[in-house]
Chains A and B, each alone.
Chain A
């Protein structure tokens, strides 16, 4: 969304809270449990981006998480098409939801959330070094990518080598280990001259997004 126009104010009443409705943290928790317990297939983020764009922009943050978690559970076969709709109807008819007996599940999931996931591995051979001038390639991938549109084509400088990580992007190189760089850009090279004094932008970019400049 970087650089899109027309969204209005950032600071709004209530905006300091992480959520506002009872169901929102439960959607988040259900996502976390699905993740830790392996109930879904695919990346939630990549899936959220597959929401039709008009729906994505209209949906609230946790509506997107609910939608993407449903997609993951469906993809894995944990739930079947129609089952959620059926439960919507049952709840509307005032049926009480059942209780599952999983006495150790809460502690197990919280432990996993607390211990976390792996750090970036140290980078071995890299194509670029700190101080190198690079340009973000022009690209227009259809699926998930971590290369924001607003820096494509811009010239920047490698500020740090962050390490290597499995590429999250959709496509044939998905999950291949790739170096990640912190690349800095001057605002003028990205957005041109604007009303504000220049600033710098720093993005973590995978190696294949970059070419020597």
Chain B
């Protein structure tokens, strides 16, 4: 957020607004004038994606798959049903396929056509995921892109790039870090950052995570 903006959307001096912002505000005003869209409904949707859905959901799924071998099997066999079991449904989650990282395999997800992403599990995608550089490059030079994220894969690791071209959404199940035997699902979930579930990162090592807010 830029600092000079307040958040209620109605009290900006015109000079502060970019052309895009002014046009967005104009469309909002027009639909309000027609009685079709309330500012409160817009606030509710923004709040839903800021507070109710986000990577904390996907992290719970991953943690459960790590802790519960039967759940892991269900998740890999039918991702849609397995996440529905945990209450995760919604737009951009028609069909979910979970792909698992193993010692010999690393998975990474992209949408080269636009920005497909499993919103109910990961929230709205980060800017880099929607950017032209990521969309263009991760299919054509994936190791170079992963290196930008600080992830260097050995040459003999099989790298799989999943391009979400249809209505299937992907969740990467990262490898469980060593030294986490006996951890609860709640503790394990703290080790799973968003990027690990897209494949541009790994799960955190246990000694790097404190007891505070995981995200």
A residues adjacent to B (C-beta < 8 A): 1-5, 7-12, 14-23, 25-30, 32-34, 37, 39, 45, 48, 57, 60-63, 66, 69-70, 73, 78-79, 83-85, 87-88, 90-92, 94, 96-103, 105-107, 109-110, 112-120, 146-148, 150, 162-163, 165, 168, 180, 182, 184, 190-191, 194-197, 199-206
Contact = CB atoms under 8 A, between A and B. Distances in A.
Contacts, number: 312
Contact of B133 (A9, A19, A105, A199): A9
* Band of interface residues on B: 35 or more
Interface of B: 1-2, 5-7, 9-10, 14, 17-18, 20-46, 48-50, 80, 89-95, 97, 110, 112-115, 120, 123-128, 130-145, 148-149, 155-156, 158-168
Contacts of A112: 91
A97 B25 contact: yes
A93 B92 CA distance: 39
- Chain B contact residues, majority secondary structure: mixed
A11 to B, nearest CB: 4
B126 A102 contact: no
Contacts of A101: 35, 38
B124 A18 contact: yes
Given A2-B139, A100-B36, 13 more contacts: A10-B134, A21-B2, A22-B9, A25-B50, A27-B24, A73-B31, A91-B14, A100-B32, A106-B40, A116-B92, A165-B94, A196-B143, A202-B163
B61 to A, nearest CB: 16
B90 A113 contact: yes
B167 to A, nearest CB: 5
Contacts of B148: 9-11
18 contacts: A2-B110, A2-B163, A21-B2, A21-B5, A22-B5, A25-B50, A29-B43, A39-B31, A70-B27, A91-B29, A98-B29, A100-B38, A106-B40, A106-B45, A109-B45, A115-B90, A116-B91, A197-B159
